[in-house]
Amino acid sequence: MTERIGILLSGGESRRFGSPKAFAEIDGEKFYERAYQALDAVCDRVVIVSHPELQPRFPMELDVITDLPAVAGQGPLAGILTAMTQRPGSCYIVLPCDMPFVTSAETARLVEQMDKTQNITAIRTPDARVPLFSIWKTGLQKALKKELEAGGRRVMVFMEKAGTAWLDSAVINGDSSVFRNINRPDE
């Protein structure tokens, strides 16, 4: 199996944003469309993990799934586990819909810079780590399931346990603002 799967996380509650971020727009494009394009450029297949109430809002031709019942609503780790379980692949590129400035150029550079010695490759800007723009190797499903069963929902905690290489964001794009996530409509 050599299939690279893109996981577009679009299931958050968007409480601070006030409406579903996936359908917010920048320059006439929805956030999810921008993220989808960034993943589609480097992946063999892209799966959108969303909330059941939002699923009908996506075009029917897209592969949209919801969390596995056992982990439903438990955040990004649940979405990643769901995609890994339902869409087997050799590796997974994760991108949340609320990072609409990441393009295919950044996803291609992340793939080029992947650390093959670690289970996860992610980036860090001068100000913070960016855990959800990352590459996850297959084989993490059991550890993810165990983490969620134990009540663990923090992505960074899991990433440290799993073994993560943190790349300097400058090797992906010199403008670290590209990697910010949008939490409010005025950002």
List the CATH number of the domain containing 80: 3.90.550.10
Nearest CA to 148 out of 67, 88, 87, 93 is that of 67
The model's pTM: 0.94
User: Does the residue 74 lie in any domain?
Assistant: yes
User: Does the residue 184 lie in any domain?
Assistant: no
Nearest CA to 4 out of 140, 167, 158, 138 is that of 138
Helix (H) or strand (E) segment spanning residue 106: helix 104-113
User: Does the residue 132 lie in any domain?
Assistant: yes
- Domains in the chain: how many in total? 1
pLDDT digits (tens, 9 = 90+) for 40-66: 999 999 999 999 999 999 999 999 999
Residue type, 70: A
User: Does the residue 185 lie in any domain?
Assistant: no
The pLDDT score that the predictor gives to residue 185 is: 63
User: Does the residue 96 lie in any domain?
Assistant: yes
Rounded CA separation 45/135 (Å): 14
Nearest CA to 6 out of 31, 57, 42, 34 is that of 42
pLDDT digits (tens, 9 = 90+) for 2-44: 699 999 999 765 555 556 788 988 999 999 999 999 999 999 9
Reported residue count of the chain is 187
- Interhelix angle for 141-149 vs 155-162, to 10°? 140
User: Does the residue 129 lie in any domain?
Assistant: yes
The pLDDT score that the predictor gives to residue 20 is: 78
Task: Identify the domain containing residue 155 by its residue range.
Answer: 4-179
User: Does the residue 117 lie in any domain?
Assistant: yes
> What is the 3-state composition of the chain as percent helix, strand, coil, each rounded to the nearest 5?
35, 25, 40
pLDDT digits (tens, 9 = 90+) for 132-182: 999 999 999 999 999 999 999 999 999 999 999 999 999 999 999 999 987
